[in-house]
Amino acid sequence: MLLIPAAGMARAGETVVLRTGFALHADRHEIDGDKVRLYSNGGMTEIGLGAVREFEPDAALTTPEKIAPVPVVAAATPTPAVVVPKPLTPVDLANAAAEKFRLPAAFVRSVMKAESGFQTAALSPKGAIGLMQLMPGTAQVLGVDPKDPKQNADGGAQYLRELLAKYESNPDQVLLALAAYNAGPGAVEKYHGVPPYRETREYILRVLKNWERQEAKP
């Protein structure tokens, strides 16, 4: 084992310079074949002769040159991948709203298609907004923001649910609910049924035909 002395001036003796660049102080040394015995402070250390570069008598021992340690860089903790939620499509919004208000999903999708063609930014000349074409006053009563697609879909489904409940006892419940959604409950009450508006009648037919086609899909 090599004994590396503390830094500072050495006592009289010799400096043993190793091939590694380190230096040892010894009071004296003895060579025995391929071994070298170094005597210092009453102790002895034996090393291989090949490890010694030279002996320097009576030299001052300086602090061995320190090799800068290689910094150990801890492995970086991998940053977890950020999962960006996939934006909900209009169909997704219609299905979620239908489930929330316990309506047939195909029915809500059919109304949404007839109202806006699934266009989130749709705006009618009369001021109806979004996927389910909610009028600002209706949206306010329902407590939804018509410009927010999800709230718009939820508001439309809620309004459909309320209209279906309103005409629950009428054999033409669905027709009257759709007519009221399109033309307003006041028009239905005025004509005691589906109002004679061409737009409203065509609207009801579009919803029912599309609903039938979707229900027929496997």
Share of the chain above pLDDT 90, in %: 57
Residue 68 dihedral angles phi and psi, to the nearest 5°: -60, 130
Sign for the pseudo-dihedral over CA of 107, 112, 117, 118: negative
Same domain assignment for residues 101 and 199 = yes
Same domain assignment for residues 190 and 98 = yes
Q: Which of 5-19, 28-42, 46-60, 156-170 has the highest mean pLDDT?
A: 156-170
Q: Give a yes or no: residue 66 inside a domain.
A: no
115 catalytic per annotation: yes
Q: Give a yes or no: residue 9 inside a domain.
A: no
Same domain assignment for residues 155 and 110 = yes
Same domain assignment for residues 153 and 203 = yes
Percent of residues in the chain assigned helix, strand, coil, to nearest 5: 40, 15, 45
Q: Given this model, what pLDDT does residue 103 score?
A: 97
Tell me the H-state helices in 54-89: none
How far is residue 48's CA from residue 96's CA, in Å, rounded to a whole number?
83
Same domain assignment for residues 35 and 94 = no
Strands (E), the chain: 14-18, 23-26, 28-32, 35-40, 43-48, 52-57
Same domain assignment for residues 182 and 96 = yes
Same domain assignment for residues 36 and 106 = no
Strands 23-26 and 35-40: unpaired
Same domain assignment for residues 19 and 103 = no
pTM (global) more than 0.75: no
> Of 16-20, 52-56, 90-94, 208-212, which range is least confident?
16-20
Task: Provide the pLDDT confidence category of residue 60 given band limits of 50, 70 and 90.
Answer: very low
pLDDT value at 4 more than 50: no
Q: Given this model, what pLDDT does residue 151 score?
A: 97
Q: Give a yes or no: residue 1 inside a domain.
A: no
What is the Rg, in whole angstroms, of the alpha carbon atoms belonging to the chain?
46
Q: Given this model, what pLDDT does residue 3 score?
A: 38
Same domain assignment for residues 197 and 135 = yes
**Which member of 115, 162, 189, 212 is catalytic?**
115
Same domain assignment for residues 47 and 131 = no
Mean pLDDT of 109-130: 96
What's the mean per-residue pLDDT of the chain?
A: 84
Identify the CATH number of the domain in which residue 133 sits.
Answer: 1.10.530.10
How far is residue 62's CA from residue 65's CA, in Å, rounded to a whole number?
9
Tell me how many domains the chain contains. 2
Q: Given this model, what pLDDT does residue 61 score?
A: 43
pLDDT value at 40 more than 70: yes
Q: Whole domain around residue 39: which residue ranges?
A: 14-57
Q: Give a yes or no: residue 142 inside a domain.
A: yes
Same domain assignment for residues 107 and 173 = yes
